[in-house]
A and B are shown apart, each in its own frame.
Chain A
Amino acid sequence: MRRLSLAIAIAGAAVVVLRFPRIMELFSSGAAGSIVAAVCAVLVPPAAGLAWHWNRRPGARPSESRTARLLDNRQFVLGTGVVALLTYAAVIAPVLSSFDPNTQTDLLGAATLAPSLQHPFGTDFYSRDLFSRMLYGARWSLGIAFVAVTLVVVVGTSVGVIAGVTGGIVDSVLMRMVDGGLAIPRVLLLLVVAALWGNLGFFPLAVLLGLTGWFGVSRIIRAEVLSLKERTFLAAARALGISQLRLVVRHILPNLVAPVTVTAALGVGNIVLIEASLSYLGIGARPPDPGWGNIIREGHELIFTAPWISIFPGAAIFLTVIGFSLVGDGLRTALNPRAS
């Protein structure tokens, strides 16, 4: 983890130095989005450097704790690194690239250019800079996944906790609902809905992905709550007459942090994959907005003449998914050492 902070600090510093004119340009542009990106670009290197410095002190953390196990887990650190760099690149997209992702630079002269210094990932059929489309595509793909996973976690946890804590008929009804939701092939349903409504846009798509993905989570959480209820400290708390709400907030929720984090981490990769699939089929991201799946769709026709159009976004999806899988697996082993 220490080395990771250092790597980010150095990479960030390099960006600031190399793209300094661009950062100044963004600051003076006056557009809120550009300024935020520029501020992030300037702030991240010192922050990462601080993290590195802080972690460097010996004995900065107790060696037997969960955190220590997590930070010693190579998988977790590697995955976090990948995810952090991708997210970082998405956030400071305008700093890294001087081109607008949707501007057709030169339809006649600059269409389907192979990667070069000016266009590191080449250009597409409409002469748009693919590097910048990829960076903005990261905003779309990661953004949707984060929003959708937040929904999954919130809804899944709420339903799971309510079912587990209340029990009885509420529990039965909720769980029958969940059974139904799980029985219906999710991607089939998504395909039908997305195809019918077509190019839903950022939030509707994120909501759709989120609302169809919480069933499994609520089951896990419910099981966790039930097993927690069996434990003595909860029985003791109940015997002391502590209210239901307090019980949930003080004793149950903190214990759910571990399973929820693991599911969330594994869920992000999954949603990135599904969203990319929908966009590839032309029923996700709305053109000309760049999403990674979208870009691959545009590259499909040109796969033999301009393969770079499809190669880079596919690799980006791959990196994202593997990054989140590593984080999730790492979290799971570190938080629950018995299940390794």
Chain B
Amino acid sequence: MGRFVLRRLAQSAVIVFLVATLTFVLLRMAPGDPVRAQFRDVTVSQEVIDEYRRSWGLDRSMPVQYVQYLGNLIRGDFGQSFSLHRPAWDVIREALPNTVVLALAALGISFATGMVLGTAQGANPNSRMDHTLTVITLAVFSIPIFWLGLMFMLVFGQWMGWFPIGGEVSPVYRGLPLVGQLADRFRHLVLPALTLGLGGAAVVARFHRAAMAEAFAENFIRTARAKGLSEQTVVLKHALRNALLPAITMFGLSLPVLFSGSVLVEYVFAWHGMGLAAFEAVGRRDYNVVTAITMIGATLVVAGNMVADLLYRLADPRTAES
């Protein structure tokens, strides 16, 4: 087990490193100049531009920049943001919690809904309910997520007026009591989290249905029934316990999808997370912020995958003790 963890850690580090390098190179290969991007429409003299380039270290050759960047990185320094004139890490520190809250809420919705639906379907394969849910999940799975967000905004934000249509908090947030603040945050979270979570719920349901159906075809289900266990016990204890193993894999696989989805949802709902920050930073050619965000994103994804792998090994008694 220890060796397995070490190997996975090493693999994850390599992937994060690769992503960082790739972003680093792509940024510098792409058209657009970071200094001009800061000044947008203002015309500035070549001297000013050169001065900025020097102070940002962009005047040196790419390999030199790269080595310098890595050196700083090892000391925990992600560099300065060109546009905001503050450490890139600060930008992340503000955006990361928002993204994590959104992602966790969406994960909760995906897995809670998906597992319940998948269990119900898998326990009654080929029933009318199963067929109906199969069609529904396929449909939900096919809806473009940003469009779903817009429709939610239109229906539940505008027409019904149930939820705010964007941002994390209302303008009056600071004046509210603690409970009011929490409620305010929650109300703002509902639509983005639902948007991001529903597609995932459909994927989880489809996947979990298959896992349940597979578990149900196993001989030990027959044994459980032959013992005189109630159908509920057979489903929840014997079939579900076995189908949970694939669900853990599913969890690992869903993280990258979740992150790319969150970029779109953050954009739709003006949710100030990493996706939105990255998007703005790319527009501004804010090299250090973009690299830092892709690196953090990649870290979260590979870490999630690693945790899923570990959990899988621990949850499966056949691999647990080796």
In the complex, the answer to whether A269 meets B144 with C-beta atoms within 8 Å is: no
- Indicate if A185 sits at the interface (CB-CB under 8 A): yes
- In the complex, which residues of chain A have a beta carbon less than 8 angstroms from the beta carbon of B31? 196-198
Considering the complex, give the chain B residue whose CB is closest to the CB of A326: B138
Q: Please report which residues of chain A, range 284-330, place their CB below 8 angstroms from some CB of chain B when the two chains form the complex.
A: 293, 296, 299-300, 303-304, 307, 310-311, 313-314, 317-318, 321-322, 325-326, 329
- Indicate if B115 sits at the interface (CB-CB under 8 A): no
Q: How many A-B residue pairs have CB under 8 A?
A: 117
Q: Mark B141-181, 1 if CB is under 8 A from A, else 0.
A: 11111110011011000100000000000000000000000
Q: A184-B19, A188-B298 are in contact. Are A321 and B142 (CB under 8 A)?
A: yes
In the complex, the answer to whether A296 meets B150 with C-beta atoms within 8 Å is: yes
In the complex, the answer to whether B142 meets A318 with C-beta atoms within 8 Å is: yes
State which of A183, A188, A273 has its C-beta within 8 Å of the C-beta of B144: A273
- Indicate if A191 sits at the interface (CB-CB under 8 A): yes
- Indicate if A276 sits at the interface (CB-CB under 8 A): yes
In the complex, the answer to whether B150 meets A303 with C-beta atoms within 8 Å is: yes
For chain A, the count of residues having a C-beta within 8 Å of the partner chain is 39
**Residues on B close to A: CB < 8 A?**
15, 18-19, 22-23, 26-27, 30-32, 138-139, 141-147, 150-151, 153-154, 158, 256-257, 259-260, 263-264, 267-268, 278-279, 282-283, 290, 294, 297-298, 301-302
- In the complex, which residues of chain A have a beta carbon less than 8 angstroms from the beta carbon of B27? 192, 196
CA distance A311 to B26 in the complex (A): 35
- In the complex, which residues of chain A have a beta carbon less than 8 angstroms from the beta carbon of B147? 280, 296, 310, 313-314, 317-318
A-B contact pairs, 15 of them (CB 8 A): A183-B18, A183-B302, A184-B298, A185-B19, A185-B260, A186-B256, A188-B294, A189-B22, A196-B27, A196-B282, A296-B146, A304-B154, A310-B151, A314-B147, A314-B150
CA distance A304 to B146 in the complex (A): 16
- In the complex, which residues of chain B have a beta carbon less than 8 angstroms from the beta carbon of A321? 142-144
Q: Please report which residues of chain A, range 167-209, place their CB below 8 angstroms from some CB of chain B when the two chains form the complex.
A: 180, 183-189, 191-193, 195-198
In the complex, the answer to whether B154 meets A195 with C-beta atoms within 8 Å is: no
- Indicate if A277 sits at the interface (CB-CB under 8 A): yes
List 10 A-B pairs, minimum CB-CB distance, nearest first.
A187-B260, A314-B147, A196-B30, A321-B142, A322-B142, A195-B282, A185-B256, A183-B15, A317-B144, A304-B158
- In the complex, which residues of chain B have a beta carbon less than 8 angstroms from the beta carbon of A276? 144
Considering the complex, give the chain B residue whose CB is closest to the CB of A297: B146
With A185-B19, A187-B257, A281-B264 given, name 5 new contacts (CB 8 A): A184-B18, A192-B282, A195-B283, A280-B147, A329-B138
State which of A193, A317, A329 has its C-beta within 8 Å of the C-beta of B26: A193
In the complex, the answer to whether A185 meets B138 with C-beta atoms within 8 Å is: no
| Closest CB in chain B relative to A179 CB, distance in Å | 9
CA distance A276 to B264 in the complex (A): 11
State which of B23, B145, B257 has its C-beta within 8 Å of the C-beta of A192: B23
Q: Mark A2-30, 1 if CB is under 8 A from B, else 0.
A: 00000000000000000000000000000
**Residues on A close to B: CB < 8 A?**
180, 183-189, 191-193, 195-198, 269, 273, 276-277, 280-281, 293, 296, 299-300, 303-304, 307, 310-311, 313-314, 317-318, 321-322, 325-326, 329
In the complex, the answer to whether B279 meets A281 with C-beta atoms within 8 Å is: yes
Q: Identify the interface centre among A191, A269, A276, A325: most chain B CB within 10 Å of its CB.
A: A191
In the complex, the answer to whether B142 meets A280 with C-beta atoms within 8 Å is: no
| Closest CB in chain B relative to A278 CB, distance in Å | 10
Q: Identify the interface centre among A180, A187, A276, A326: most chain B CB within 10 Å of its CB.
A: A187
Considering the complex, give the chain A residue whose CB is closest to the CB of B267: A281
- In the complex, which residues of chain A have a beta carbon less than 8 angstroms from the beta carbon of B302? 183
State which of B154, B278, B290, B297 has its C-beta within 8 Å of the C-beta of A303: B154
- In the complex, which residues of chain B have a beta carbon less than 8 angstroms from the beta carbon of A192? 23, 26-27, 278, 282, 290, 294
- In the complex, which residues of chain B have a beta carbon less than 8 angstroms from the beta carbon of A281? 263-264, 267, 279
In the complex, the answer to whether A191 meets B142 with C-beta atoms within 8 Å is: no
- In the complex, which residues of chain A have a beta carbon less than 8 angstroms from the beta carbon of B264? 277, 280-281
In the complex, the answer to whether A185 meets B144 with C-beta atoms within 8 Å is: no
In the complex, the answer to whether A185 meets B259 with C-beta atoms within 8 Å is: yes
State which of A197, A269, A277, A325 has its C-beta within 8 Å of the C-beta of B30: A197
- In the complex, which residues of chain B have a beta carbon less than 8 angstroms from the beta carbon of A314? 143-144, 147, 150-151
Considering the complex, give the chain A residue whose CB is closest to the CB of B32: A196
- In the complex, which residues of chain A have a beta carbon less than 8 angstroms from the beta carbon of B267? 280-281
- In the complex, which residues of chain B have a beta carbon less than 8 angstroms from the beta carbon of A193? 26, 30
CA distance A280 to B264 in the complex (A): 9
- In the complex, which residues of chain B have a beta carbon less than 8 angstroms from the beta carbon of A187? 256-257, 259-260, 263
